[in-house]
Structure 1
C-alpha cells in the first residue's frame, strides 16, 4: 500500500509533464523517438503534428483544422515517424548530379506542341463537380476513382507494343487512394532511379471538411490536371525514357501530407532511389502584385534541382521564373525532402500573391487561367524527358 501511495503520484506527475510537452525533433535521419513519450494514454485520439523541422505537438482534430484556417502548414507525422531514417543506409553511391544545361529539345518540343488547354478544362470541370475531394469523405473516394479511370484510359489508349506503361492505386487507411502511373525505363542500369512528377488530388473546406463544398479548382485541381495533360501527351507520343518516370496524384495532402508520406516511406523502405521529384500544387491563378511568372520555391527544397528547373523554364516556357518561399511542409515535396530525396516545388506565382480563395467554396474555375496552367504542363513534360535520359 505504501509502495502504491509513492508510485501513483509519481505516475500522475510524469503524465502531466509528458502531456504538456512540445516534442523537440532532431534531424529525422538520426533521431529515435521515445515511444513512451509518443504513445502515452492522454494523447489517445490526437495526432502528432509537425509545424517546423524541430518541433511537433499532439493535437486534436479541431486544433489541426485551426492550423488550416490560419494557413499554417504542417505534416501529420503520427504514422510516419521513421520517414527519413533509412535513406542514408541504402544510398550507396554519390549524389545525383543535375545537368548544367538542357539537352533534349528535339524530343521535348514535339510533346509540348501537343499540349492542350481543352483537355485540362474538360477534366477540371468534372473534377470540381464533386462536392468536395476531402480524403475522408465519400466524395473524396469517388473523385479519386474517377481520376484513376482517366489515367487508366490514357494508359490503355497509348497501346505500346512493349507494355512499359502502367497505373496502380496506392491504398491508405482512409478511403481515398493515391494514384501512381509509371513509364518503365529502357536502361537496366538505371531501373532503380526514378523521376517523379506529383500533385495532390484532395480538397478541403476549412470549416466543414467532410460535408462542406470544396471544389478545389486551384488547390489542387489545377495541379492534378496540369500533370494529367503532361502525362497524356507523353503516353500518346509513345515516350520511352531511359530511367523510370512516374506521375503521382497524392491523397490527403490537406490532412498533413499523409498520402505522399506513405508513398515516400514505402519507397525508402524498399530502397527505391528517387533522383528528382517535382510537385505541382496550385498552377492556375495569376496574381495581381507581379507580372505573370512561375513561382519557384527556394526554401525547404533541393537547391541543385531547383536551379535545373529554372533552366527548364528558360528553355521551354513562355513566362519567367520568380523565386518565392512558402515555409515548412507547404506541399508534398516536403515528404520527399524529409525522406532524403531531391525534390522541388513550382507554384502559380509568388506565394504572397497566390490564390486567396483556397480551402473555401469559392475556389472555382472562374478564377483560373488555363493558359497559365499550360506553362506548368510544359515544365512537367520537359522535367520528365530531360531527367529520364541524363
Structure 2
C-alpha cells in the first residue's frame, strides 16, 4: 500500500494514541442478595450468554449474597422474570456490609405487629371512600404513565420526567389541604437518578404511627434499555391505585388518625433500590411504621380468583386483616394464597426490616400478566379497561380507613346528625 507523507503522520498518531489514552474506567460493582432457590437458574442462564455470576460470599436461611457488575442487574431481572416468574426477585445493595446484614435479617421478626390491634369498626369512613372509586380515573392514570413516555426506566430522563409528572399530579390533588404534603425522596444518582415520590397525610390523634401504601414507578423491558417499556400493569396499575385512593381521600375530606404515606418507589426493577433506601432510612431514624401495603400488578386477571395474597415475606396477622376486610367490604370477591419468593416486590424491603407488610396480587404466581417487561405491557391486554384494578383500589381504601382510622366529612356529618337527635 502506498502512503503519502500526511498519511504516514496520521498513521503514526493513530498508532500512538493508545499509549496516551486513559485506561477504561472499571465498571461499578454492586452486591445482591438472592434466594438460593433461584441461584442455579440464574447461573445457568448467564452461562448460556457467556457470562458468569460472582461467587457466593455468604449464605443463610435460603438467601445468598454475591457481587455483580451493575450492567448485569438488568440481565438478572430478565432471568428472574423469564425463568422464575418473579418481578425483581433479588435485592441490590451498595456495599457488602449492607448485603450481609440483609442475609442476617432475611426472615425478619415482626415487632411492630404486636403494637397494632386489627379492628374493623370504621365502616362509615370506609364505605365513603370506597363508594367514590371509579374505573375511569384509574384508567386515566395508567394511560398517562404508559403512553406519555417510552419508558419509566430508573436511569433514563423519561423515568425522571414521569416522577416529576406524578409529583405534580399528587400536589394538584392535595391542593387546599394544609395537612397533606408531597415530596421527592432523592436517591444518590449512582443508585437511581429517578426519585421516589411520597405524599403524606398527617394524622390527627396518632401522627407518630405511620401507615404506608406503595407501588413502584419505574418500568423495564428485558430486551434492553432502548426498548419500549410502557409498564401499564407493571406497575402503572399500582401507582394509579395510589393516585385514586389519594383522590377519593381528598374528595371525601378524609382525615386519618394515624399518618398515611403513599409512596411511588424508584428503581424497583433492578433490586428494590427505592423502597430499600426508604425503609432503611425509616428504620434507622425510628419511624413507627405500623403497616405496609404493596400494590404491584393489579389489572390483569390471570386466575379465577379475584385477589391473591402473597404469604411469604409478608406478615400473617396483617394478611388475615386483609382477608377480613375483603369479607366485610367486598362480598363475593374470591381470594387465595400464593408464594412469590425472595425480593419479589417492594414489600420485601419493609418485611426484612421488621415491618408488617402485605401484597395483594392479580393472580397465582405463574398465571400473572405474561406481557410484563415487554413492549406489550399495555392496556390493550385488558381490553383498554382498568376494571380489574377497582377491587384492589377499594381494598386499599378500606385498608387505609380501618388501619389509619379517622373520619371523612360524610362520617362527621353522620356523627353530628346523631348527636343532635
Normalising by structure 2, we get a TM-score of 0.75
Q: Equivalents in 2 of 1:64, 1:300: separation in Å?
A: 22
Query: Paired residue for 1:55, among 43, 64, 84?
Result: 64
Aligned to 2:8: none
Q: Deviations over 1:289-339 (max 9, x none)?
A: x32410100011111111111111112225221111111111000000111
8 Å CA contact retained: 1:83, 1:261: no
2-structure distance, mates of 1:263, 1:245: 15
Residue 133 of structure 2: aligned partner: 115
Write the distance in 2 (CA, Å) between the matches of 1:192 and 1:85. 28
Identify the match of residue 287 of structure 2 among 262, 272, 277. Answer: 272
Aligned length: 334
1:164 is aligned, of 166, 176, 179, to 179
Q: How does 1:325-340 map to 2 (within 5 A)?
A: 325-340=339-354
Structure 1 alignment gaps of length 5 or more? 1-42
What residue in structure 2 maps to residue 387 of structure 1?
403
Distance in 2, matches of 1:350 and 1:68, equals 20
Q: CA deviation at 1:349?
A: 1.6
Which structure has the greater CA radius of gyration? 2
Further displaced range: 362-371 or 304-313: 362-371
Instruction: Give 3-state SS (helix, strand or coil) of 2:399's partner.
Output: helix
Is 2:31 aligned against 1:45? no
CA–CA distance in structure 2, aligned partners of residues 336 and 93 of structure 1: 11
Work out the CA distance in 1 between the residues paired with 2:165 and 2:204. 30
Which runs of structure 2 are paired with 1:304-315 in the superposition (5 Å)?
Answer: 304-315=317-328
The partner residue of 1:102 within 120, 127, 142 is 120
Question: Relative to 1, partners in 2 of residues 1:94 and 1:154: Cα closer, same or farther, differing over 3 Å?
Answer: closer
| Structure 1 residue 93 displacement after superposition | 8.3
Query: Match of 1:372?
Result: 388
Q: Distance in 1 between matches of 2:163 and 2:72?
A: 27
Of residues 177, 187, 212, the one that matches 2:227 is 212
CA contact (8 A) 1:216 1:363 kept: yes
The 1:201–1:236 alpha-carbon spacing in structure 2 relative to 1, beyond 3 Å, is same
User: For the aligned residues, what is the CA RMSD?
Assistant: 2.1
5+ unaligned residues in a row in structure 2: which ranges?
A: 1-25, 36-61, 407-421
1:85 shift after superposition: 8.9
How far does residue 46 in structure 1 lie from its aligned partner after superposition?
Answer: 1.5
TM-score (norm 1): 0.81
The aligned counterpart of 2:47 is none
Corresponding residue number in structure 1 for 2:208:
192
Quickly say closer, same or farther: Cα 1:292–1:85, change in 2 above 3 A: closer
